[in-house]
Structure 1
């Protein structure tokens, strides 16, 4: 890691951020990183259970339930994990239809009539014809959780970014086999967001609804969402691999967000592989035939492995490794040019389970990402 990267990392401070939006090209491990970041943010409280983080899923893929082995993640906020020091991670799968029902009930007092619209397919029609409304509803529900203040629970009923007193809703706690309605406040909210190619459009809800509503509740809702998304409370983190296509999508995504005046966060390099050759041998090994076969044979002879075919195979592996390391170094240099804080997570060769998530969370904390 270069000194320049270390210097930027040392300055990275997300303590003022309450909404961490995690995006990335498909296949980069975006959902895994979002879960690890939520665990990292939930840890480190002064007392056991001192910190609570909400992890939000907006794409309906149920990736979080698989990671935490906690059953399906639903619309209600439910606890899915506890950190080693007692911090809590709660999860919620946002659904535009349910958010719209809340919205119609709050602003238009439709009540059962809104549910009748669902039976006739009117809600699906509305969110299909005007997809910008869907994004407003999903981001609005997320921003509502961000606007709550940590440290206590309350009985306020919240709808897609607006508050309406007199009811209970949202968070659920389990006790003695009975579910108790309770709205929780969170120290941070982590959103497992859409992929890089759609993230700017998803977050830039003002432009999405500008042709649909210039005044009224929808316009007010979009403005309230944008006040959160464009503030210092929000950071959009990009997950990437050290490969050409994911890196290029990350660079393009950062540029698009900045052009839209949306706040970028850090770049999280996932599945980073260890370098097994010393630096002075990498460039030599990267050249076909660059390794000294006689030297390899001499090194393997004491352990009885100086077989010609084995030496040839090992030399080929060493060349492939060296070439990959040099290509990754070039991609890493492309990322550092963005001047975004850079974090790296290791490749988990045994797959991702709770032990692996805790390891990734600790790496993020060690590097100052949480």
Structure 2
């Protein structure tokens, strides 16, 4: 597994949930994972049922086996202050610039500067080591922007490096790209078994590969359980309505004690079967499209009880069982 795990996906596919579950899965057996948020939505705090994340790394969960998950919500303004202090030793002068609104101004108008700061902070956490020379975190998982923006978000450092030929900004951009385009990084895409998310996944992978960014895995989220197989569907479609009504009646459904008759149940049952058959065919077609991409493919179930902290641990276990560790 690469040490920087970037998770993207079309809006509504549950990429933040998958990123959180991945962080838990990777932290199992005593590992330490940092889960990074870059969009300012505080989605991680909501999933882990904790207070809003500050601009600072904080432990938010313990994984099976004693591993730990830390979280960080990166604020571009504070990241720029860190940058100014690191390279220019501005100290209190940098804080004065923030009060004057100069920091917000810079991150708003400077092309790519905001994304450089966000990706740069994550890459710094990947490279950071403690006094003994060991990496501070075994893995860094980034809840990244959606598929439509992910390539530009990750590749913006190349653009900045081209604009700034020398100096700290140039060096910072080059250092970040050395991490993002290396085997240390893997970009995973989250999708659903629906046409639009799958097509956006196909397009996103093509863009990432064109930019020479390392594509990792495809994770299909919220997969509905299989209720009927192909044989069951064929039987329902071929069976006559009287025979279905007879079978329902024999099973005790639609009898007088239930206030109706079996014949009245046949049409609603067949309508549901038709809807399921249509959904089954669509999902089969979309799986085939995803398999053609030649990437590891994983599926996470739709949790009937909804998403809570227990569900997050359940998805993490599912990822572990599928070989993500």
Aligned to 1:100: 80
User: Is the partner of 1:338 in helix, strand or coil?
Assistant: coil
Please state how far the C-alpha of 1:301 moved relative to its aligned partner. 1.6
Moved more, 303-312 or 270-279: 303-312
Question: In structure 2, what is the Cα distance between the partners aligned to 1:128 and 1:34?
Answer: 27
Contact 1:283 1:322 in 2 (8 A): no
**Is 2:252 aligned against 1:304?**
yes
Q: 2:24 aligns with which of 30, 39, 44?
A: 39
Question: In structure 2, what is the Cα distance between the partners aligned to 1:185 and 1:223?
Answer: 22
Q: 2:217 aligns with which of 266, 288, 308?
A: 266
Q: TM-score, normalised by structure 1?
A: 0.82
Question: In structure 2, what is the Cα distance between the partners aligned to 1:283 and 1:80?
Answer: 49
Describe how 1:28-107 pairs up with structure 2 within 5 A. Answer: 28-43=13-28, 45=29, 50-107=30-87
Question: Structure 2 vs 1, CA of residues 144 and 358 (structure 1 numbering), >3 Å: closer, same or farther?
Answer: same
Contact 2:154 2:180 in 1 (8 A): yes
**Is 2:313 aligned against 1:354?**
no
String of CA shifts for 1:60-113, please: whole Å, max 9, x gaps.
Answer: 000011100111112110011111322111100001100100111111121111
**Is 2:2 aligned against 1:22?**
no
User: Is the partner of 1:31 in helix, strand or coil?
Assistant: helix
Aligned to 1:205: 156
Question: Structure 2 vs 1, CA of residues 265 and 184 (structure 1 numbering), >3 Å: closer, same or farther?
Answer: closer
Please state how far the C-alpha of 1:211 moved relative to its aligned partner. 5.3
Contact 1:291 1:315 in 2 (8 A): no
User: Is the partner of 1:204 in helix, strand or coil?
Assistant: helix
Please state how far the C-alpha of 1:207 moved relative to its aligned partner. 3.2
Question: How many residues in Structure 1 have an aligned counterpart in Structure 2?
Answer: 318
Deviating beyond 6 angstroms after TM superposition, the runs of 4 or more aligned structure 1 residues are none
Contact 2:188 2:215 in 1 (8 A): yes
String of CA shifts for 1:220-277, please: whole Å, max 9, x gaps.
Answer: 0010000000111100000000011100110000000000000000000000011111
Contact 2:242 2:263 in 1 (8 A): no
Unpaired segments ≥5 residues, structure 2? 255-261
User: Is the partner of 2:112 in helix, strand or coil?
Assistant: helix
Please state how far the C-alpha of 1:299 moved relative to its aligned partner. 2.7
Moved more, 112-121 or 18-27: 112-121
Q: 1:240 aligns with which of 188, 191, 196?
A: 191
Aligned to 1:257: 208
Question: Structure 2 vs 1, CA of residues 218 and 327 (structure 1 numbering), >3 Å: closer, same or farther?
Answer: same
Contact 2:35 2:143 in 1 (8 A): yes
Please state how far the C-alpha of 1:32 moved relative to its aligned partner. 0.3
Please state how far the C-alpha of 1:123 moved relative to its aligned partner. 1.2
Q: 1:330 aligns with which of 281, 285, 296?
A: 285
Please state how far the C-alpha of 1:355 moved relative to its aligned partner. 1.2
Larger fraction in helix: 2
Question: Structure 2 vs 1, CA of residues 119 and 255 (structure 1 numbering), >3 Å: closer, same or farther?
Answer: same
Question: In structure 2, what is the Cα distance between the partners aligned to 1:81 and 1:309?
Answer: 52
Please state how far the C-alpha of 1:284 moved relative to its aligned partner. 6.5
Question: Structure 2 vs 1, CA of residues 132 and 293 (structure 1 numbering), >3 Å: closer, same or farther?
Answer: same
Please state how far the C-alpha of 1:148 moved relative to its aligned partner. 2.5
Question: In structure 2, what is the Cα distance between the partners aligned to 1:284 and 1:216?
Answer: 71
